[in-house]
Structure 1
Amino acid sequence: MNQLLAILACAVLAGLTIFQAALIAGAPLGKLAWGGQHRVLPAKLRTGSAISIAIYALFAYAALAKASLVPPMINGPLTAIAMWVITAYLLLGVVMNGISPSKPERLIMTPTTLALAVIYLVLAIR
């Protein structure tokens, strides 16, 4: 079960990575991210998207480590702690996306982040 959840988390994170890369490249998808204030992201928010991609990679590694698909993060307890921290971060993301002034961001990113939060919560518990 953990392996399936980890792979599902990685698939969602891969989709988000492609989305953030498109934002960095100047795709007019800004209404779906960063509060939806810009159709095309300015340089500072593109930097934020690049940082998001790095964070997604860490999240993916943590899920894969929890499912024993890759070596654990330094040691087993660190992986367990990381799963709870990531779950909390994602739950905060649900709230932030849910209160976004951008309706498209609320409609698309809130459920996406919620799905990830639930996956990480289940992985953290198991």
Structure 2
Amino acid sequence: MLTGAAILYALLALVVVAFQIAMALGAPWGHLAMGGRFPGRFPLPMRFAALLQGGLIAVFALVMLGRAGLVSPAPPLWLVWAVVAVSALSAAMNLATPSIPERRLWGPVTLAMLVCAIRVALG
């Protein structure tokens, strides 16, 4: 169960990272991110932010995989719980965003990631 939760987290994270990279490269999906404040293509500073977010989520996936023993080294437990905390914040923000398309797309994804992160953290 722990391994499955870590793999599911990593697969969902891969989708999010791919989305962030696409946004950074100019995909016109601004209505699906950042509360829909930037419809169409992100302005340049937001493209850099998308890359930063994608990189951070990729690191989170490695933390989850490391906790499950699927990659080395295993992260410290405080780092695993930090991923849980950020995942909770992300889920809350995506479920409360004023952008209905963003809420419908990313709300369930981030909520599933949170559930997986909690499962992985609890061992």
Same-fold call, TM cutoff 0.5: yes
Question: Match of 1:90?
Answer: 87
Q: 1:32 is matched with which residue? A: 32
3-state SS in 2 of match to 1:65:
helix
Structure 1 residue runs of 4+, over 6 Å off?
none
Q: Where in structure 2 are the equivalents of 1:37-116 lying within 5 Å? A: 37-38=37-38, 39-73=40-74, 78=76, 80-116=77-113
Q: Deviation string for 1:12-48 (max 9, x for gaps)?
A: 1111111111101111111111111122111111111
Structure 2 counterparts to residues 7-26 of structure 1, below 5 A: 7-26=7-26
> How far is 1:98 from its partner?
2.0
- Partners of 1:30 and 1:82 lie apart in 2 by 30
| Alpha-carbon distance, 1:8 to partner | 1.1
Number of residue pairs matched? 122
Is contact 1:35–1:102 with CA below 8 Å preserved after alignment? yes
- For residues 102 and 26 of structure 1, the distance between their equivalents in structure 2, rounded to whole angstroms, comes to 19
Report the secondary structure of 2:97's partner residue: coil
Look up the equivalent residue of 1:89 and give its one-letter code: V
Q: Percent identity among equivalent residues?
A: 34
Residue segments in structure 1 that go unaligned for 5+ positions in a row: none
The alpha carbon displacement at 1:115 in A equals 0.4
Maintained 8 Å contact 1:87/1:117: yes
In 2, distance between residues paired with 1:99 and 1:57? 24
**Cα distance in 2 between the residues matched to 1:57 and 1:87:** 14
TM-score (norm 1): 0.90
The letter of the residue matching 1:47 is: F
Cα distance in structure 1, aligned partners of 2:95 and 2:9: 20
